[in-house]
Amino acid sequence: MTPTSVTPEKTTKTIRLPRLPFSLWIAIIMLAGVLALMALVPLWSGFDPNKQSLFFALEPAFTNPAHPLGTDALGRDILSRLSVAASVSVLVALGAVCISAVIGIVIGLLAGWMRGPVDSLLMALGNVQLAIPTVLLLIVLVAALGSSPLLLVILLGCVNWVGYGRVVRAQVISLREREFITAVTTAGGSSWWIMRKHLLPNVLPAVLVLAAFDVGVIITVESSLSFIGLGIQPPTPSLGLMISEGQRYLQTNLPLTLLPALVIFFLIGGIQFASQSLNRAPSRG
């Protein structure tokens, strides 16, 4: 008998996409588009977003391959300016949210753990700030102090901590009654050690969900301030400023206003869908 060769059967592997919530897929698509605009356009176009050329002023979108999205009234490339403006908005929002979160976490931990007069004083401070409309407070502060990008980040961060403080305080009040916190306290653990080692890790998930939502809020506020001339100042591109500059050409060159508005929509929409998915994630167990 002659041995017969057996050929192994070919198995095909099916690549399956991870099962993610539909809202998270929308967020990924929207944010991926904005991230591509921010990261790839500067490498591809090579245009200086502030370079003026009146010869090419107000070129319509999709008519010149050198300027795919057209130019503004000063001949500046719209695609390059959108890329820089989106990056500026994201950096301002992330910086402001980090400042707000740090302030809110510190105040919330102290108020929730110390209770008594400390809690009353810190929460009263938050109530006073909430009594003043945030945008109005920012307008007054920016008009008085100026509106450099760094100062804008600091101001946005310092007026937005109350939500984080309240969330952290509520979490700490709930946690301090848990058995493991009681055991650590009975064993002689210091307040600083308990807050740093046991309370902070347990409040961070709630803070991250709020921070994800807050990035979109800060982008909206920054764009609004820039629209009225109190946010990012020229020549630095800003989405709100681009909308403001393009509104006089609404009937003749709509993309000047529509394109930065769409970038804001994709940024905020993607962030909101992502934050909703993060908020629902714990409940799915």
Domains of the chain: 94-279 (1.10.3720.10)
Which of helix, strand or coil describes residue 115?
A: coil
CA distance 255 to 261: 9
Q: Assess whether pLDDT exceeds 60 at residue 130.
A: yes
Reported as a pLDDT band with limits 50, 70 and 90, residue 177 is confident
Residue carrying the six token digits 């509106």: 147
Q: Assess whether pLDDT exceeds 90 at residue 161.
A: yes
- Assess contact for 122 and 180: CB atoms under 8 A: no
Higher pLDDT, 185 or 259: 259
CA distance 112 to 195: 10
**pLDDT computed for residue 159 by the predictor:** 92
The set of residues, in sequence order, having a beta carbon less than 8 Å from that of 279 and lying 6+ positions away, is 209
Q: Which of 159-173, 211-225, 269-283 has the lowest mean pLDDT?
A: 269-283
**pLDDT computed for residue 145 by the predictor:** 86
Strands (E), 20-172: none
Which amino acid appears at position 249 of this protein?
Y
Of 220, 225, 239, 215, which Cα lies nearest the Cα of 49?
239
Structure token pair of residue 143? 């008009």
Higher pLDDT, 172 or 183: 172
Higher pLDDT, 167 or 67: 167
Entry pTM: 0.85
- Please state the separation of Cα 73 from the chain's center in Å: 30
**pLDDT computed for residue 18 by the predictor:** 63
Q: Assess whether pLDDT exceeds 50 at residue 88.
A: yes
- pLDDT (mean) for 20-44: 88
**Rg of the chain on CA atoms, in Å:** 25
CA distance 230 to 223: 10
Q: Assess whether pLDDT exceeds 80 at residue 122.
A: yes
Q: Assess whether pLDDT exceeds 90 at residue 95.
A: yes
